[in-house]
């Protein structure tokens, strides 16, 4: 990987009122060191696991060493997911091994697995249209070819096959559900992720196969030949698992002003090492908070939230909002979309904060960052506190063109991060944080 250096223009330095250093090459810089060490020294951090607990302890030590104050863990318990053996094989009309992974919150197959007929559905809507009871004793396969987009817009509609599909299949009588992975790659790596079963519904085993295996199933389905599958998925939910948030502050000059909250999530799925999802986000927010101190201590405190248990249900954000319900906040931001460059900024600010918005837009213009037409929502780890306190929100939209090639796969590893793009995130985040933390007046949502 080539080393890159990013230089600031005089106009940008004037706009931010601080000197922001050039990007560091691989192997140096706070952000790179954080994500490299987190993925190397801790590795996968499944919610509720011992490795997530190790990540919390690691996070306290690292943030303290970096100079953050009031660094502490805020514990809570969750119903998590414990992965077990997972195999799948078509037994008819042709013997074919499939690369599969269980979906979080699903239940295990019977001891020894299950063997059943596979019924192919081209989409989630096709499954919804199936007659009630038509899948009794069968396995539903849901195809859902996600399309690539810079803003990752396909994840909403195509990800619904994972989030909702197994519950729909269960309501139709299915023994189990298998989906095409929610991803944009053609690798033979399945994408994991959470599914959900509404109260009163019957939880069933559910898994995702890789894109090539999904295409294989689709080709056989078009031939009209009946398919059967042997399926073993031994992952299962487990209650009362320990989790927690890591919270740290860089105090401002005026402790009476509500802090600026910046967040990521510390947990990850267990197939890879959680580099882009979301080790990079934790690295970005911590490094940017520190860089925003250059030029003098800001007016407002900048608070970093490394949230726990986001992947399995957003529990960390909910726990933070509950624990800090009586504490006013100024604005909230989140980094949870990989490590590629920021290309767009979005806002949800009150009309009275238009000058603040205009200042941020002007400061980011030299970086070629455009303004989003969409209303900013923050992200899973800050949405609960945003909703509770009607906070101002700024979204720093990252380029997601390749994000869903890696998302929730074994390929989510450090080597996929470009150090120059990681440092671009830190630089532009620091610009925005410096402006926000210097705002003396009220900041609120629109």
pLDDT at 2: 37
- Residue 271 placed within a domain: yes
**Same domain for 280 and 381:** yes
Which of 187, 216, 234 terminates a domain? The answer is 234
**Same domain for 183 and 135:** yes
In the chain, % of residues over pLDDT 90: 93
CA 254 to chain centre: 33
Name the phi and psi angles at 3, rounded to 5: -85, 145
| pLDDT tens digits, 177-221 | 999 999 999 999 999 999 999 999 999 999 999 999 999 999 999
Cis status of the peptide bond prior to 121, with omega within 30 of 0: no
pLDDT at 437 over 60: yes
Look at residue 278 and give its three-state secondary structure.
helix
Note the helical H segments in 296-382.
315-323, 354-364
pLDDT at 22 over 50: no
DSSP 8-state symbol, 416:
G
What residues pair up with 88 in beta bridges, in sequence order?
Answer: 98, 231
pLDDT at 209: 98
- Residue 399 placed within a domain: yes
What CATH code is carried by the domain that includes residue 114?
A: 3.50.30.30
- The C-alpha atoms of residue 84 and residue 270 are separated, in whole angstroms, by 12
- Residue 401 placed within a domain: yes
Q: Of 282, 275, 272, which is closest to residue 245 (Cα–Cα)?
A: 282
**Same domain for 146 and 249:** no
* Domain ranges, residue 58: 10-80+239-437
**Same domain for 253 and 201:** no
pTM of this structure: 0.93
- The C-alpha atoms of residue 229 and residue 407 are separated, in whole angstroms, by 26
Question: In this structure, how many other beta carbons lie within 10 angstroms of the beta carbon of residue 313?
Answer: 19
Which of 176, 202, 234 terminates a domain? The answer is 234
**Same domain for 407 and 295:** yes
**Same domain for 266 and 165:** no
**Same domain for 391 and 299:** yes
**Same domain for 197 and 323:** no
pLDDT at 28: 58
- Residue 442 placed within a domain: no
- Residue 446 placed within a domain: no
Look at residue 98 and give its three-state secondary structure.
strand
Question: In this structure, how many other beta carbons lie within 10 angstroms of the beta carbon of residue 72?
Answer: 15
**Same domain for 108 and 48:** no
For the chain, the domain total comes to 2
What residues pair up with 75 in beta bridges, in sequence order?
Answer: 244
pLDDT at 328: 97
What CATH code is carried by the domain that includes residue 369?
A: 3.40.630.10
> Which residues are within 8 A (CB) of 87 and not within 5 positions of it... i.e. 6 or more apart?
97, 100, 113, 230, 231, 232
Give 1's pLDDT tier (boundaries 50, 70, 90): very low
Angle at 67 between CA 37 and CA 51, to 5 degrees: 35
**Same domain for 375 and 254:** yes
pLDDT at 25 over 90: no
**Same domain for 343 and 245:** yes
Which of 212, 234, 256 terminates a domain? The answer is 234
**Same domain for 61 and 88:** no
- Residue 3 placed within a domain: no
- Residue 1 placed within a domain: no
- Residue 126 placed within a domain: yes
pLDDT at 10 over 50: no
| pLDDT tens digits, 311-322 | 999 999 999 999
| pLDDT tens digits, 37-85 | 999 999 999 999 999 999 999 999 999 999 999 999 999 999 999 999 9
């Amino acid at each position: 990987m080539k080393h890159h250096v990013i230089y600031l223009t005089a106009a940008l330095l004037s706009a931010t009122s601080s000197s922001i250093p050039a990007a560091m090459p691989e192997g140096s810089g706070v952000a790179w060191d954080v994500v490299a060490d987190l993925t190397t020294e801790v590795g996968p951090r499944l919610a509720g696991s011992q490795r997530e607990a190790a990540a919390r302890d690691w996070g306290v030590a690292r943030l303290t060493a970096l100079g953050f104050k009031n660094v502490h863990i805020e514990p809570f318990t969750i119903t998590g997911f414990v992965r077990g053996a997972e195999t799948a094989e078509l037994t008819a009309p042709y013997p074919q091994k499939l690369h599969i992974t269980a979906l979080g919150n699903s239940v295990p197959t019977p001891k020894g697995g299950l063997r059943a007929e596979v019924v192919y559905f081209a989409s989630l809507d096709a499954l919804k249209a199936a007659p009630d009871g038509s899948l009794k004793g069968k396995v539903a396969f849901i195809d859902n070819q996600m399309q690539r987009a810079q803003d990752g817009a396909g994840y909403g509609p195509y990800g619904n096959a994972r989030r909702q599909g197994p519950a729909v299949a269960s309501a139709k009588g299915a023994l189990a559900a298998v989906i095409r992975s929610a991803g944009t790659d053609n690798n033979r790596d399945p994408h994991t992720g959470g599914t959900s079963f509404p109260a009163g519904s019957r939880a069933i085993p559910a898994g995702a196969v890789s894109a090539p295996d999904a295409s294989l199933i689709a080709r056989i389905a078009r031939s009209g030949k009946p398919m059967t599958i042997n399926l073993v998925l031994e992952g299962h939910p487990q209650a009362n698992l320990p989790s927690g948030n890591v919270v740290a502050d860089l105090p401002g000059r005026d402790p009476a002003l509500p802090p600026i909250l910046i967040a990521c999530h510390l947990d990850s799925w267990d197939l890879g090492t959680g580099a882009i999802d979301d080790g990079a986000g934790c690295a970005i927010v911590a490094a940017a908070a520190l860089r925003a101190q250059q030029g003098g201590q800001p007016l407002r405190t900048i608070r970093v939230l490394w949230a726990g248990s986001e992947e399995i249900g957003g529990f960390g954000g909910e726990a933070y909002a509950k624990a800090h319900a009586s504490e006013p906040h100024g604005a909230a931001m989140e980094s949870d979309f990989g490590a590629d460059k920021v290309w767009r900024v979005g806002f949800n600010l009150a009309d009275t904060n238009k000058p603040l918005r205009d200042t941020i837009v002007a400061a980011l213009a030299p970086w070629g960052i455009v303004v989003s037409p969409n209303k900013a929502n923050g992200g899973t780890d800050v949405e609960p506190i945003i909703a509770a306190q009607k906070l101002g929100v700024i979204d720093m939209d990252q380029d997601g063109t390749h994000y869903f090639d890696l998302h929730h796969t074994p390929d989510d590893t450090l080597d996929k991060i470009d150090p120059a793009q990681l440092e671009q995130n830190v630089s532009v985040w620091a610009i925005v944080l410096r402006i926000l933390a210097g705002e003396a007046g009220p900041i609120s949502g629109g």
